[in-house]
């Protein structure tokens, strides 16, 4: 975001303690035994294996589609599919757990979530069958007598856990970027860059108010959002260029890894690690989610569709899809309360999200950086107006939610 347009969130400084995210995802793990991955409980934990393959078509196989309520560990292996790079566990479009950047042949990875009774979905974008119904047996907590305000506040708390998990996973992705930059592996670093970008784009409108200790809120030298996500167009000459896009410039325009690139990558790792320590101190009100979702779509219209955001790598469609996904998650966590407040606008927004998803699916490319086609000049000329109009049809009703939820 331009540094003149910072949000007015209260300034938070370094030194805050790290709170645990209830749904934070586990990191990468080494290969586990077949017994460990079996869909049978070990102690109190139930285990589900998800295997990604290509034997003529890309498949996402789930070892079992029903488990009892309680903690569930999903172990994801990609043995041979290049089209499927992520797996998500969804309920009513909320992402409860996920793993991304699942290249064939890598060690299996895991995430653990505690699930109540009900219907869920395992989502594998790019698979021949993308959605698999997953049932958790046992009594689900009833919300029948809950007020809209109570449900909205519960949603805001759950969304906070989602934000925490996204930033934590960004740290892992940025560390991989730094590792390959330090090794001088240009091709791997380009892939890492595209893999790391969505995490910030999912939540950027909700984590941009942090300032390092010893700096004022107006000082870009201490503003973590500026240091992580600044672009050429919002350069503060007194601070210089830092963050993702400075690394992008070196990798994609310069086409070489220099000593300066290594310094920039190390600094980026340091700053996102600091952000990861601070984000759990945030609490959200329902209107924060509504405002944040609207803000992400404003980012799409002002920076992604124009091609300004990723001026060297041209992976703007990766960022655009991530902004939309972040907005969808904010809406999904508000949805139970919104259905009580205004079922008509809730249905309208859900329908428009589906329309945007259908449009963006047409740009997916499993062989391209970040899984989407390059957003070159020809694509912008041909498609920018259609994308903008489709986003606008979603943005209009979404922009009306903040007032509704603030007064619930």
25 pLDDT exceeds 70?
no
- Does residue 25 sit in helix, strand or coil? coil
16 pLDDT exceeds 70?
no
- The mean pLDDT value for 208-233 works out to 88
Q: What pLDDT was estimated at residue 257? A: 98
Q: What pLDDT was estimated at residue 23? A: 34
Which residues are 75's β-sheet partners? 49, 110
CA dist., res. 118 & res. 113, Å (int): 14
- Note the residue count of the chain: 408
Give per-residue pLDDT as tens, 243-292. Answer: 999 999 999 999 999 999 999 999 999 999 999 999 999 999 999 999 99
- Average pLDDT score, the chain: 87
**Angle, CA 367 vertex, CA 361 and CA 370 arms, to 5°:** 65
Q: Which residues, 6+ apart, have CB-to-CB distance to 47 below 8 Å?
A: 36, 37, 38, 39, 40, 41, 72, 73, 75
Contact 315, 309 (CB under 8 A): no
Which residues are 51's β-sheet partners? 61, 77
Give per-residue pLDDT as tens, 109-119. Answer: 888 888 999 99
Q: What pLDDT was estimated at residue 340? A: 94
Find the range with the poorest average confidence among 25-39, 65-79, 182-196: 25-39
pLDDT > 90 fraction of the chain, expressed in percent and rounded: 72
CA dist., res. 5 & res. 303, Å (int): 14
CA dist., res. 85 & res. 171, Å (int): 19
Q: How far is CA 105 from the centre of its chain?
A: 24
Beta strands 46-54 and 70-78: pairing type?
parallel
- The mean pLDDT value for 192-216 works out to 92
CA torsion through residues 317, 323, 329, 332, sign = negative
pLDDT > 70 fraction of the chain, expressed in percent and rounded: 88
Q: What pLDDT was estimated at residue 34? A: 39
**Angle, CA 142 vertex, CA 141 and CA 144 arms, to 5°:** 160
338 pLDDT exceeds 90?
yes
- Does residue 242 sit in helix, strand or coil? coil
Q: What pLDDT was estimated at residue 15? A: 34
Q: What pLDDT was estimated at residue 51? A: 97
Q: How far is CA 38 from CA 45, 110, 264, in A?
A: 11, 13, 43
CA torsion through residues 307, 354, 369, 159, sign = positive
Nearest to 380 by CA among 303, 283, 327: 303
- Lay out the sheet containing 118-123: strands in order across: 66-68, 131-137, 118-123, 87-91, 94-99
User: Domains in the chain, start-ordered, CATH in brackets?
Assistant: 34-141 (2.60.40.420), 151-406 (1.20.1420.20)
**How many H-runs (helices) and E-runs (strands) does the chain carry?**
11, 9
Backbone angles phi, psi at 288, to 5 degrees: -65, -40
Q: What pLDDT was estimated at residue 99? A: 87
- Lay out the sheet containing 58-62: strands in order across: 58-62, 46-54, 70-78, 109-115
**Angle, CA 62 vertex, CA 84 and CA 80 arms, to 5°:** 35
Q: What pLDDT was estimated at residue 38? A: 42
CA dist., res. 363 & res. 369, Å (int): 12
The three-state (H, E, C) secondary structure of 303-316, written as one string = HHCCCCCCCCCCCH
Confidence of residue 14 (pLDDT cuts 50, 70, 90): very low
Range list of β-strands (E), 116-163: 118-123, 131-137
Q: What pLDDT was estimated at residue 209? A: 82
Q: What pLDDT was estimated at residue 232? A: 84
CA dist., res. 191 & res. 368, Å (int): 9
Give per-residue pLDDT as tens, 350-371. Answer: 999 999 999 999 999 989 999 9
Nearest to 309 by CA among 369, 251, 244, 391: 244
Q: What pLDDT was estimated at residue 297? A: 94
Nearest to 209 by CA among 161, 281, 154: 281
Nearest to 23 by CA among 203, 199, 161: 161
State in Å, rounded, how far the first CA of the chain is from the last one: 30
Contact 331, 337 (CB under 8 A): no
- The mean pLDDT value for 79-95 works out to 91
32 pLDDT exceeds 90?
no
Q: How far is CA 170 from CA 100, 117, 120, 204, 314, in A?
A: 11, 30, 25, 12, 20
Q: What pLDDT was estimated at residue 406? A: 87
Find the range with the poorest average confidence among 10-14, 171-175, 212-216, 329-333: 10-14
How many other C-beta atoms lie within 10 A of the C-beta of residue 127?
Answer: 22
Residue with more model confidence, 306 or 44:
306
């Amino acid at each position: 975001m331009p540094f003149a347009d910072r949000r007015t969130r209260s300034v938070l400084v370094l030194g805050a303690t790290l709170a645990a995210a209830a749904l934070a995802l586990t990191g990468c793990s080494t290969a586990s035994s077949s017994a460990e991955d079996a869909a049978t409980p070990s102690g109190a934990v139930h285990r589900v294996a998800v295997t990604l393959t290509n034997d003529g078509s890309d498949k996402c196989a789930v070892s079992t589609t029903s488990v009892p309520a309680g903690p569930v560990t999903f172990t994801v292996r990609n043995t041979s599919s290049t089209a499927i790079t992520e797996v998500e566990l969804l309920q009513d479009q909320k992402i409860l757990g996920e793993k991304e950047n699942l290249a064939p042949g890598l060690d299996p990875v895991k995430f653990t979530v505690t699930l109540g009774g009900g219907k869920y979905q395992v989502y594998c974008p790019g698979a021949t069958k993308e959605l698999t119904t997953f049932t958790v047996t046992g009594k689900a907590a009833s919300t029948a007598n809950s007020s809209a305000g109570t449900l909205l506040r519960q949603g805001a708390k759950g969304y906070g856990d989602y934000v925490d998990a996204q930033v934590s996973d960004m740290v892992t992705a940025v560390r991989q970027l730094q590792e390959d930059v330090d090794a001088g592996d240009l091709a791997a670093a380009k892939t890492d860059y595209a893999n790391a970008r969505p995490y910030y784009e999912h939540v950027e409108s909700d984590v941009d108010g942090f300032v390092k200790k010893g700096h004022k809120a107006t000082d870009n030298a201490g503003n973590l959002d500026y240091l992580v996500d600044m672009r050429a167009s919002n350069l503060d000459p007194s601070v210089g260029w830092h963050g993702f896009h400075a690394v992008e410039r070196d990798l994609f325009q310069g086409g070489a890894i220099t000593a300066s690139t290594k310094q920039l990558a190390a600094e980026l790792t340091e700053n996102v690690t600091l952000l990861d320590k601070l984000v759990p101190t945030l609490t959200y009100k329902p209107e924060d989610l509504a405002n944040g979702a609207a803000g992400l779509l404003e980012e799409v219209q002002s920076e992604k569709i124009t091609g300004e955001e990723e001026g060297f790598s041209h992976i703007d469609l990766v960022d655009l899809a991530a902004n939309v996904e972040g907005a969808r998650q904010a809406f999904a966590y508000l949805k139970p309360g919104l259905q009580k407040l205004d079922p008509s606008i809730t249905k309208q927004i859900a329908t428009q999200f589906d329309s945007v998803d259908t449009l963006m699916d047409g740009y997916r490319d499993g062989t391209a950086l970040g899984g989407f086609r390059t957003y070159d000049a020809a694509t912008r000329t041909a498609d920018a107006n259609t994308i903008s109009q489709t986003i606008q049809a979603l943005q209009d009703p979404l922009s009306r939610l903040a007032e509704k939820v603030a007064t619930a």
